């Protein structure tokens, strides 16, 4: 039987008709990169009563909540984190530039043409292999849906349970709440940066990476075509073909205007419960969250014209990598500052407990004038919580307690 060629998608050898699988495309000039949704501040703390309701009006006292040095320490912790990240970012970009120059020398127009032709041959090979598989296993889709997809779905569920969503809580009742909020924000920005970093790393040497992928697909696809298409060994090919070879082959595919795949769309629309996040392919490669199935092969460079390669790398570096790096550094700095604030607060609590007897005696070591400094009206109608300061001969007057006037004593000490 004549095999379908990748340049003639109208010839149907796999049952796909005119509905080929999606292929990577170049940069969309109408689309800008998604900005990292970093929120600079955690939710504010719920108000905590600073003073309990007392009968007395207390004179002004020194503010015990630390000094300006505490804030300076927090600022220095944040500045140090930002400076360290900026230094690393500069070194990484310099490394990318050096690798870009080397990769450009290897990824020539001649090499590109050769790689495209090899991809077309692999496309024919895989299309024929898929036809053999689906003819020998008519229920191939249900076998995948019932036997393989649950394994991917279990991973996706575990990740959802572990990581939750990007929606963080909106109230905080303690510094620890704010610290955890900033830690979660930091981890989300780290995940976003890791995705961009893996993509830009994959593109550092496209010729070598694509050449290796083509060899893998050709070698394994040829071996599968020549193998015995019987029994359990045939069944095992369902995973290798649909979860390894076909995804890798399509990941490195040229845009459809260069060569259209003979592999049908229905052969890649598998495990619908394993959903990826929103695509973000502002520079061409997708830097958005991947499904579990997509992560099995990871980011790959695809076949683009060599003259477009430097622009793609510059776009990734300036519009994706640098913003993601800056958002990660800001999140790390905010977490470091909050961590320093919590450690300072814990140290302050321990220090206050230790110095409490001394601090109390220092505050008591003064002349105490009860009526002048400590009494206040109980209500707005002229009533008194304590007496009017008249001396009853016992050194003090009377103090109101539960509606009964009782003698107040020792006017020279705090009541």
Per residue in 295-304, pLDDT (tens digit) is 999 999 999 9
Segment 158-186 shows an average pLDDT of 84
List, in sequence order, every residue forming a beta bridge with 400; answer none if it has no partner: 405
Per-residue model confidence as pLDDT tens digits over 226-243: 766 666 778 888 999 999
Segment 260-271 shows an average pLDDT of 92
Quote the pLDDT of residue 381: 46
CA 245, CA 7: separation in Å to the nearest integer?
A: 20
Segment 260-278 shows an average pLDDT of 90
Assess whether pLDDT exceeds 70 at residue 174.
Answer: yes
Domain ranges of the chain: 68-348, 366-415
CA 287, CA 189: separation in Å to the nearest integer?
A: 13
Confidence of residue 4 (pLDDT cuts 50, 70, 90): very low
Segment 258-275 shows an average pLDDT of 91
Segment 191-203 shows an average pLDDT of 91
Assess whether pLDDT exceeds 50 at residue 218.
Answer: yes
Quote the pLDDT of residue 253: 94
Quote the pLDDT of residue 414: 38
Q: What angle do CA 301, 302, 303 make, to 5 degrees?
A: 130
Quote the pLDDT of residue 386: 52
CA distance from start to end of the chain: 105
Give the total residue count for the chain: 415
List, in sequence order, every residue forming a beta bridge with 377; answer none if it has no partner: 384
Assess whether pLDDT exceeds 70 at residue 406.
Answer: no
Quote the pLDDT of residue 299: 93
Provide the mean pLDDT of the chain. Answer: 78
Question: Is the pTM higher than 0.75?
Answer: no
């Amino acid at each position: 039987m004549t095999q379908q060629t990748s340049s003639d998608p109208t010839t149907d050898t796999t049952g796909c008709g005119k509905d080929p699988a999606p292929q990577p495309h170049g940069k969309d000039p109408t689309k800008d990169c998604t900005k990292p949704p970093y929120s600079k501040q955690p939710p504010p703390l719920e108000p905590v009563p600073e003073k309990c309701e007392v009968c007395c009006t207390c004179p002004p006292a020194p503010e015990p909540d630390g000094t300006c040095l505490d804030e300076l320490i927090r600022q220095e912790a944040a500045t140090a984190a930002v400076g360290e990240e900026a230094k690393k970012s500069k070194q990484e970009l310099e490394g990318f530039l050096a690798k870009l120059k080397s990769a450009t020398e290897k990824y020539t127009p001649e090499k590109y043409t050769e790689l495209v032709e090899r991809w077309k041959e692999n496309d024919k090979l895989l299309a024929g292999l898929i036809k053999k598989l689906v003819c020998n296993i008519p229920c191939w889709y249900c076998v995948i849906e019932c036997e393989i997809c649950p394994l991917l779905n279990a991973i996706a569920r575990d990740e959802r349970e572990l990581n939750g969503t990007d929606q963080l809580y909106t109230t905080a009742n303690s510094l620890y709440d704010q610290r955890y909020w900033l830690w979660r924000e930091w981890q989300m920005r780290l995940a976003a940066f890791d995705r961009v970093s893996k993509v830009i790393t994959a593109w550092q040497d496209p010729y070598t990476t694509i050449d290796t992928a083509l060899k893998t697909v050709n070698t394994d696809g040829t071996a599968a075509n020549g193998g015995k298409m019987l029994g359990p060994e045939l069944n095992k090919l369902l995973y290798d073909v649909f979860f390894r070879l076909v995804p890798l082959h399509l990941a490195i595919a040229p845009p459809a205007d260069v060569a259209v795949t003979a592999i049908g769309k229905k052969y890649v629309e598998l495990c619908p419960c394993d959903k990826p996040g929103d695509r973000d392919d502002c520079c061409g490669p997708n830097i958005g969250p991947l499904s579990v199935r997509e992560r099995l092969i990871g980011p790959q460079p695809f076949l683009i014209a060599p003259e477009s390669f430097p622009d793609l790398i510059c776009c990734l570096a300036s519009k994706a990598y640098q913003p993601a790096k800056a958002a990660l550094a800001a999140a790390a700095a905010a977490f470091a500052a909050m961590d320093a604030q919590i450690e300072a607060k814990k140290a302050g609590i321990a220090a206050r407990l230790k110095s409490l007897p001394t601090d109390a005696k220092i505050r008591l070591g003064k002349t105490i004038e009860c009526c002048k400094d400590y009494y206040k009206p109980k209500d707005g109608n002229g009533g008194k919580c304590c007496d009017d300061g008249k001396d009853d001969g016992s050194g003090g007057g009377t103090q109101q307690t539960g509606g009964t006037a009782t003698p107040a004593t020792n006017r020279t000490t705090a009541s």
